Structure 1
Amino acid sequence: MAPKRRRTTEAENKPEVKKGSSSRLTKSQSQPLKVKDNKKKKKNNNNSPVVVFAHGAGAPSSSDWMIRWKNLLSDALHPVEVVTFDYPYISARKPPPKAEKLVEFHAGIVKDIANKYPQHPLILVGKSMGSRVSCMVAAEEGIEASAVVCLGYPLKGTKGAIRDAPLLQLEVPTMFVQGTKDGLCPLASLEMVMKKMKAKNSLHIVENGDHSFKIAKKNLESAGITHEEAEQSAVQAIAMFVSQIIGTK
């Protein structure tokens, strides 16, 4: 039986990122982000990260979900750029291949962006399959990522196997954002993997969220929150994690 996860408060999330730390959605954590509109300062700040954001298996970078989260990440992290792209199978209208076959293409995108912004911390973000490939890319030679953020990591394979090999190889600080009703990532299994990881890691839990963090209306009403507040809570947790890693304030 997995140990019970207690709720954390905003104050408990302020210390340095610890291995296996987690945060749960509470109403007090769901305040809207204060977005500073200072593009000139952002461009000249070498602490501003550059983000490479990979899509999931079933939808391209132009999907509503990807566009919304690209905007959320842009507002929260104040990056010099959030780069999205499509894996080649999208334009070829083919089913997604095994994640391992996408690493070379993905790594090429990451290297190009790193060369474009050599003085800025590199953050790899992925949705579902894109997060799994991002973890593989972060372990590649020549890739110097500061952190990886996994949005709905697909830990459980189609046949039920726990696919933890890419995570156990990682040495880059890694954050997971997972819904409690995500069938592709049982939280008890993820937390066991996190304890075995070499890399610093953190977990933000979206209560009653599915694989894409969607929450049923009845659960939103019961918690007294909106879907937008749930997303804001998650993206604030990401911003805190990234700032702790790259040293911004």
Structure 2
Amino acid sequence: MAPPPPAPVEVTLPLTPPQVVETTTALVWPADDPSAPAVILAHGAGTDMRHRHMHRHATDLAAAGAAVALFNFAYTESGRKRPDPAPRLESAWRDVIVGLRPHLGGDRRLVVGGRSMGGRIASMVAAADAAELGIAGVACIAYPLHPPGKPDRLRVGHWPALTVPTLLVCGSRDAMAPTETLRECVATHMPQGIATVHVLAGADHSFRVRKADGRTEDEVFAETAEVLVDWLGKL
């Protein structure tokens, strides 16, 4: 078993107006291996970068040798609960990528992603500006294919513009991303050959599992880490 990664370094990053705060906070796990990828992950709508799920994803990847960073969106940094409009979230993502490059290693392959909303916004930024921002891949964990209870409002309008490898890790019981619908949308809306879909048996949107599924939450997160590390190695 790999030793646990060291504690992360906290850094402050400037944000481009208009945002509700002028700066936001990020946590950075540097990497010693210059060939290791850099991964920036954003939190979901109802959490922040210090949520235990985000910390687990980050430390799993850091333990595998990647340079990793988490950050707060501006609304979260200010203590608000309601997410900002998508354009402001995208703007924050762009600022964070630029601001974190020196801390992660500017020459590393860069992957952006995150949980739920954070991964969705990352994919929107990549669809628009992957080449300009040097994005080599997108890793979406629990992608919210549609809002809760609104399966007709699919969030795939930007998918045809994606040009970099894209990983989608979703639970088989995720009501916001039914497996069959997710696979159909990937086949219909994503450019051929760029998407990898991995389904976590028994997991819901929050990666909770039932006793009847015969597995634990820890096993779900360990499987997620294994999938992420394997996919990063193939970029």
Taking structure 1 as the reference length, the TM-score comes to 0.75
Unaligned runs of 5+ residues in structure 1 are 1-33
User: What pairs with 1:38-53 in structure 2 (closer than 5 Å)?
Assistant: 43-53=31-41
1:203 to 197, 200, 205: 197
User: What pairs with 1:136-155 in structure 2 (closer than 5 Å)?
Assistant: 136-141=124-129, 142-155=132-145
Choose 188-197 or 175-184, whichever is displaced more. Answer: 188-197
- Alignment correspondent of 1:173: 165
Distance 1:89 1:218, change over 3 A: same
- Alignment correspondent of 2:222: 232
Offset at residue 203 of structure 1 (A): 1.2
Residue-pair matches, total? 204
Taking structure 2 as the reference length, the TM-score comes to 0.79
1:106 to 65, 89, 93: 93
Please tell me whether residue 95 in structure 1 is matched to residue 48 in structure 2.
Answer: no
1:99–1:129 Cα contact (<8 Å) kept: no
1:60–1:86 Cα contact (<8 Å) kept: yes
Counterpart AA for 2:232: V
- Alignment correspondent of 2:11: none
More strand by share: 2
* TM-align CA RMSD: 2.1
Please tell me whether residue 118 in structure 1 is matched to residue 106 in structure 2.
Answer: yes
Q: Secondary structure at the match of 2:45?
A: coil
Offset at residue 217 of structure 1 (A): 1.9
2:211 to 207, 217, 228: 217
Counterpart AA for 1:244: K
Unaligned runs of 5+ residues in structure 2 are 7-29
Offset at residue 126 of structure 1 (A): 0.8
Please tell me whether residue 182 in structure 1 is matched to residue 149 in structure 2.
Answer: no
Distance in 1 between residues matched to 2:124 and 2:201, nearest whole Å: 28
1:126–1:150 Cα contact (<8 Å) kept: yes
Please tell me whether residue 58 in structure 1 is matched to residue 58 in structure 2.
Answer: no
Distance 1:118 1:229, change over 3 A: same
Please tell me whether residue 128 in structure 1 is matched to residue 87 in structure 2.
Answer: no
Offset at residue 75 of structure 1 (A): 1.9
Q: Once the two structures are aligned, what percentage of the paired residues are identical? A: 27
Offset at residue 129 of structure 1 (A): 0.1
Offset at residue 48 of structure 1 (A): 0.5
Q: Deviations over 1:132-188 (max 9, x none)?
A: 001011123321111111000001134331110122221110001100111111111
Distance in 1 between residues matched to 2:41 and 2:82, nearest whole Å: 20
Distance 1:59 1:38, change over 3 A: closer
1:100–1:133 Cα contact (<8 Å) kept: no
Distance in 2 between residues matched to 1:70 and 1:50, nearest whole Å: 11
Counterpart AA for 2:137: A
